A and B are shown apart, each in its own frame.
Chain A
Amino acid sequence: MDESELQALKRRTSIVIVIILALFGILVVRLWFLQILRGSQYLKMSENNRIRLQWLPAPRGNILDRNGRPLIVNRPYFNVTWNKEDAPDPELIIRKMAAILKVNVSEILKRIREAADYPRHLPILLKEDIDWPTLVYIENHQYELPGVHIETLPSRKYNFGNLASHLVGYLGRINEKELKKFGDSYLPSDQIGKMGIERIYEKLLRGEKGRRYVEVDVHGFEQREIMEQAPLPGKDLKLTIDIALQQTAERALRGKAGAVVMMEVNSGKLLVLASSPPLKLQEFIGGISTKNWKAMLNDPLKPFINKTIQGQYPPGSTYKIVTALAGLSEGAITPDTIFYCTGSMLLYGRRYHCWKRSGHGAVNLKKALRESCDIYFYHVGLKVGVNNLAKYALSLGLGRKTGINMPNEKPGLVPTKSWKRRRYKQEWQEGETMSVAIGQGFNLVTPLQVCEMTATLANGGTRYRPQFVESVIDADGKVVKPFRPVIDGHALGSKHSLALIRAGLVAAVNEKHGTGSVARMKSILVGGKTGTAQVVRLAQYRHLPAKDIPYKYRDHAWFTCFAPADKPQIAITVLVEHGRHGGSEAAPIAKALLEQYFNGKTAEHPTDK
């Protein structure tokens, strides 16, 4: 009985063998399905599981002046972070860090509370931008401060404060619109040029981020590096700007609203491009506060406006260059044509005054330019007509954007008959031609345009486009993009006419009764033209002594000049808003620059030609 039972059990064992083989067979089939059929898919999934891409920031390019002096460079910016998870005794660390960072414990606790929503393994930012001694101390005491780390971020260092602030601009955190526009190459935490050169040359300055592929575990902790592609540093920009001259210009404009433009007449290279008041660049690092932003917006001197290219002003007497050129070229006058100035003239029953109420007497071209006689230019304007004035103005670069590589440049305004019809649905009045002829009508110009006009006059009629980048230099110091002058056009009229006007401007600076005598130099012959741009034509203010006119109704002061007169190298244009008189307010600034350029230059930069 027992034996038969035993045999029965053993028979059943063979069934068990079949069952075992069958079930393990299922497992083999399943393995085949997962590993052979779907293997590649799962391999890809496992890759995605573990490989993380880290971006390595590229050092941003430096901005240098024409002599290679660094204007804006990078500086590392050190933040202290703390990984609470790594600290066995968090309270001790909090107390230690409060002492090291010289802050209250409560402040650190506040930061920890603020970070409560972030994933636990993400470090908490304890303090931004710590100084060097603190950094060294923390680095040396790493072992006593488990979980405390120093995070290094690149930032901008402004070697010369707010110098050329409108030109260089600033960086800010990229916004949603920009992210959409530039797509993949930026991260939401990235900085991007928001204004000026930082924005215009963003692509060059920025370089290319490096990539680092690291293997991470499920918590996101780095295990090892798989591949690294080094970042490509941004390119350096060497500007045509001269830091020393720019400093002189900005110092002279301090406390005023205004602009200074200084240009090489034979290339269009800008030596100075100053707008006052400057932007406070420091405040933009790490994002400007609403308070500071509002303060800048509400400043009556309007620091946000780059007055060199966005400030549009009546040109005042500087426009007499245009009127003179039109008169000579159109044959309305010769250098010897004489008009009599009695202090005023009548046209259709309305009296038009010269700025000099007692009159200039007999006035020829030279005297007219020297003493800025309005009556003379009224006559010339009437003879050539407003449309001819416009033609010559345009050829000198007024009424259109200069083409400087900066956004939001204003074109100014050169009025014509058809413009008035379009704009006001009215016919042009002869009297308006007279106003235009002395630069007080509808015309509007920017300081850069006036400087370009002066440069064109000085170099004999070639209109160079204003540029501010001397060269683009890569990280190895190789020039990848040299400066190339761009000629945008030529002044209408003969070289002789331009020479006659230059002679008039030289007289204005160097002869008796000249309006620009303030800019006179001992060693160098300067030619220049003052200008006073009326802000209002309200009669109630016109007769008041200058100092009693409310600031915002005071006239703008212009001075534009070139030097040396025989072989011009540079042109300088100064505008001081509400500065009243070009001769007294604007010309001294130009004089200071001339002195520095011609007299100080050889001493300071002996290698520069």
Chain B
Amino acid sequence: MFQFDRRLILNFDWILLLTVLAVIGMGLVNLYSATTNGYTSSHIFIKQIYFYIIGLGLVVTIISVDYRVLLSWNYVFYGVIILLLIMAKFFGNSAGGAQRWINLGFFKLQPSEPAKLAMVICLASYYYRKDTGKGFSLRELIAPGLLAGIPFILIVKQPDLGTALMIAMIAISMTLFVKLRWSTLVIIIMACMIIAPLGWKFALKPYQQQRIETFLHPEGDPLTTGYHIMQSKIAVGSGRAFGKGFLKGSQAHLDFLPEHHTDFAFSVWAEEFGFAGSVFFLACYTFMLLLGLNIALSARDKFGVLLAFGIVALIFWQAFINLAMILGLLPVVGMPLPLFSYGGSSLLTNMAGICILFNIRMRRFMVKTT
């Protein structure tokens, strides 16, 4: 199994690697700016570097093992993640009223992050084993619905609306990708339209409702919940065409921007590098996602296609929701920008995802089409 095959190197996607490194590089530059005190780099920056070093080990491990191993381990992953989520709920560290972390001593694991990836692997395995040619009926959706529903509910209860939403987005994207029957789709959409107002009323916590209301009317509350959106827009807008320059973003450096190294990292970038820098970043990011989809297109088996698509969807939705939130297009939810924001759990999860993409690409010659 571990014997070396020259073709593994030949099939390595070097362009994707360069693009990913570019995005990570921009993320580190930005993190430095967002957290420096003006003289030295902060411990947060150093910590992120450590995470990348740990991530490197992860990279080697993941790309040396055939991704199809995941097919036999998927439910083990799933089980472990569910267990961790339950542990986080009962024994976890709380921050900001939410219990999201499990303290591992050197590192606080946020199990909802790997849960996203586990969701992708699990659904890819599930749909790989199913015959999807005719599209799914409503009844056939019960099993994947349960698969996604359990972590979804656990994460909503933390509460972490952003991540829960992400689980749902992945599940929906992948299900739509493998094809639904039209009738099923119509029924689901109608059901959502009925459930949404009920969900608003009963499932959302008051602060979550407020966030959404604030999003709809930000000027009504500039000091508390509207503050984040307002300050983020000021940061981004004040960057203008070419930005204020590296380390010169006043919004971030003077703490007007909340969470400027995690969820709002991109507003620091947009403030310091302006429209030009922002568009450059988006172009790199889009290119990275398209290369991911290219791997899906070049994969020789259905599992590879589903897995690659799922990972691209995972990164894309997180990025889109995060950016739309920063630009004031969506309400504020806790959602990092993959490979850019600070945060170990998110970083390792997304790196693992990228590694799986490399893995699929490297092993496309191994799959024999039947």
Chain B 231-245 per-residue mask, 1 if CB under 8 angstroms from chain A, else 0: 101111111110000
Cβ contact within 8 Å between B293 and A42: no
Tell me which of A30-38, A386-394, A450-458 binds B: A30-38
> Known interface pairs A27-B320, A50-B250. Does A35 touch B240 (Cβ–Cβ under 8 Å)?
yes
- A35 nearest CB neighbor, chain B only: B275
Cβ contact within 8 Å between B250 and A46: yes
Cβ contact within 8 Å between A34 and B327: yes
> Closest approach, in angstroms, between the C-beta of B257 and any C-beta of chain A?
9
- B231 nearest CB neighbor, chain A only: A49
> Closest approach, in angstroms, between the C-beta of A549 and any C-beta of chain B?
73
Complex: A47 Cα to B253 Cα, angstroms: 13
**In chain B, residues 84-135, which have Cβ atoms closer than 8 Å to a Cβ of chain A?**
131-133
Cβ contact within 8 Å between B290 and A43: no
> Known interface pairs A27-B324, A31-B275, A31-B327. Does A42 touch B289 (Cβ–Cβ under 8 Å)?
no
Complex: A39 Cα to B276 Cα, angstroms: 13
- Indicate if A103 sits at the interface (CB-CB under 8 A): no
Complex: A508 Cα to B11 Cα, angstroms: 128
Give the dominant DSSP class at A's interface. helix
- A3 nearest CB neighbor, chain B only: B369
Cβ contact within 8 Å between A39 and B256: no
**In chain A, residues 38-73, which have Cβ atoms closer than 8 Å to a Cβ of chain B?**
38-43, 45-47, 49-50
> Closest approach, in angstroms, between the C-beta of A140 and any C-beta of chain B?
28
The contact of A215 among B177, B250, B296, B316, by CB within 8 Å, is: B250
Cβ contact within 8 Å between B179 and A8: yes
Chain B 214-244 per-residue mask, 1 if CB under 8 angstroms from chain A, else 0: 0000000000000000010111111111000
- Indicate if B18 sits at the interface (CB-CB under 8 A): no
> Known interface pairs A8-B179, A215-B250. Does A46 touch B241 (Cβ–Cβ under 8 Å)?
no
- B242 nearest CB neighbor, chain A only: A35
Complex: A50 Cα to B254 Cα, angstroms: 7
Chain B neighbourhood of A223, CB < 8 A: 253-254
> Known interface pairs A3-B369, A217-B256. Does A43 touch B240 (Cβ–Cβ under 8 Å)?
yes
> Closest approach, in angstroms, between the C-beta of A595 and any C-beta of chain B?
70
Cβ contact within 8 Å between A27 and B282: yes
- A51 nearest CB neighbor, chain B only: B250
Chain A neighbourhood of B178, CB < 8 A: 9
- Indicate if B49 sits at the interface (CB-CB under 8 A): no
- B177 nearest CB neighbor, chain A only: A12
Complex: A41 Cα to B236 Cα, angstroms: 11
> Known interface pairs A30-B329, A217-B256. Does A46 touch B238 (Cβ–Cβ under 8 Å)?
yes
Cβ contact within 8 Å between B302 and A35: no
- Indicate if A5 sits at the interface (CB-CB under 8 A): yes
Complex: A162 Cα to B82 Cα, angstroms: 84
Chain A neighbourhood of B13, CB < 8 A: none
- Indicate if A13 sits at the interface (CB-CB under 8 A): yes
The contact of A13 among B179, B271, B293, by CB within 8 Å, is: B293
Cβ contact within 8 Å between A218 and B254: yes
> Closest approach, in angstroms, between the C-beta of A141 and any C-beta of chain B?
27
Complex: A2 Cα to B286 Cα, angstroms: 30
Chain B 241-274 per-residue mask, 1 if CB under 8 angstroms from chain A, else 0: 1000000001101111000000000000011001
Chain B neighbourhood of A218, CB < 8 A: 254-256
Chain A 329-354 per-residue mask, 1 if CB under 8 angstroms from chain B, else 0: 00000000000000000000000000
Cβ contact within 8 Å between B323 and A216: no
Complex: A218 Cα to B235 Cα, angstroms: 14
Cβ contact within 8 Å between B236 and A34: yes
- B243 nearest CB neighbor, chain A only: A35
Cβ contact within 8 Å between A5 and B240: no
- B176 nearest CB neighbor, chain A only: A12
Tell me which of A14-22, A190-198, A459-467, A538-546 binds B: A14-22
Cβ contact within 8 Å between B239 and A35: yes
Cβ contact within 8 Å between B293 and A31: no
Chain B neighbourhood of A598, CB < 8 A: none
Complex: A223 Cα to B38 Cα, angstroms: 10
Chain A interface residue count, Cβ-Cβ cutoff 8 angstroms:
43
Complex: A328 Cα to B87 Cα, angstroms: 117
- B235 nearest CB neighbor, chain A only: A46
Cβ contact within 8 Å between A16 and B279: no
- A39 nearest CB neighbor, chain B only: B240
**In chain B, residues 150-192, which have Cβ atoms closer than 8 Å to a Cβ of chain A?**
177-179
Cβ contact within 8 Å between B320 and A24: yes
The contact of A35 among B241, B296, B297, B313, by CB within 8 Å, is: B241
> Closest approach, in angstroms, between the C-beta of A526 and any C-beta of chain B?
75
**In chain B, residues 320-360, which have Cβ atoms closer than 8 Å to a Cβ of chain A?**
320, 323-324, 327-329
Chain A neighbourhood of B239, CB < 8 A: 35, 39
Cβ contact within 8 Å between A216 and B278: no
Chain B neighbourhood of A2, CB < 8 A: 302, 369-370
> Known interface pairs A8-B179, A17-B293. Does A26 touch B329 (Cβ–Cβ under 8 Å)?
yes
- A219 nearest CB neighbor, chain B only: B255
> Known interface pairs A13-B297, A16-B293. Does A35 touch B324 (Cβ–Cβ under 8 Å)?
no
- A216 nearest CB neighbor, chain B only: B254
Cβ contact within 8 Å between A49 and B133: no
Cβ contact within 8 Å between B309 and A13: yes
The contact of A9 among B270, B286, B302, by CB within 8 Å, is: B302
The contact of B270 among A26, A35, A38, A43, by CB within 8 Å, is: A35
Cβ contact within 8 Å between B251 and A6: no
> Known interface pairs A4-B133, A39-B239, A49-B256. Does A21 touch B286 (Cβ–Cβ under 8 Å)?
yes
> Closest approach, in angstroms, between the C-beta of B46 and any C-beta of chain A?
22
Task: Pick the most buried of B237, B250, B369: most chain A CB atoms within 10 A of its CB.
Answer: B237
Chain B neighbourhood of A4, CB < 8 A: 133
> Known interface pairs A16-B309, A215-B254. Does A42 touch B238 (Cβ–Cβ under 8 Å)?
yes
Chain B neighbourhood of A49, CB < 8 A: 231, 234, 250-251, 254, 256
**In chain A, residues 454-501, which have Cβ atoms closer than 8 Å to a Cβ of chain B?**
none
Chain A neighbourhood of B233, CB < 8 A: 34, 42
Complex: A223 Cα to B39 Cα, angstroms: 13
- B132 nearest CB neighbor, chain A only: A5
The contact of B306 among A9, A40, A219, by CB within 8 Å, is: A9
**In chain B, residues 297-322, which have Cβ atoms closer than 8 Å to a Cβ of chain A?**
297, 301-302, 305-306, 309, 312-313, 316, 320
Chain B neighbourhood of A17, CB < 8 A: 290, 293
The contact of B282 among A28, A40, A47, A215, by CB within 8 Å, is: A28
- B239 nearest CB neighbor, chain A only: A35
Complex: A20 Cα to B312 Cα, angstroms: 10
- Indicate if A23 sits at the interface (CB-CB under 8 A): yes
Chain B neighbourhood of A27, CB < 8 A: 282, 320, 323-324, 327, 329
Chain A neighbourhood of B323, CB < 8 A: 27
Cβ contact within 8 Å between A36 and B241: yes
Complex: A6 Cα to B297 Cα, angstroms: 9
Complex: A217 Cα to B251 Cα, angstroms: 9
Complex: A2 Cα to B278 Cα, angstroms: 42
The contact of A30 among B133, B302, B327, B369, by CB within 8 Å, is: B327
- Indicate if A1 sits at the interface (CB-CB under 8 A): yes
Cβ contact within 8 Å between B240 and A20: no
Complex: A21 Cα to B323 Cα, angstroms: 14
The contact of A31 among B234, B250, B270, B301, by CB within 8 Å, is: B270
- B251 nearest CB neighbor, chain A only: A46
Task: Pick the most buried of B233, B234, B320: most chain A CB atoms within 10 A of its CB.
Answer: B234
> Known interface pairs A6-B301, A10-B296, A13-B296. Does A42 touch B236 (Cβ–Cβ under 8 Å)?
yes
> Closest approach, in angstroms, between the C-beta of A465 and any C-beta of chain B?
58
Cβ contact within 8 Å between B275 and A32: yes
> Known interface pairs A27-B323, A31-B279, A216-B254. Does A36 touch B297 (Cβ–Cβ under 8 Å)?
no
Q: What are 14 pairs between A and B in contact, CB < 8 Å? A: A3-B369, A6-B302, A9-B302, A9-B309, A13-B293, A16-B312, A17-B293, A28-B279, A30-B324, A31-B279, A35-B275, A38-B237, A217-B254, A218-B255
Beyond the given A13-B297, A20-B316, could you list 7 further A-B residue pairs with CB under 8 A, ordered by the A residue number?
A: A9-B305, A13-B293, A26-B324, A34-B237, A38-B237, A42-B236, A49-B251
**A: which residues have CB within 8 A of B?**
1-6, 8-10, 12-13, 16-17, 20-21, 23-24, 26-28, 30-32, 34-36, 38-43, 45-47, 49-50, 215-219, 223
Q: Which 3 interchain pairs have the tightest Cβ spacing? A: A42-B237, A39-B240, A46-B238
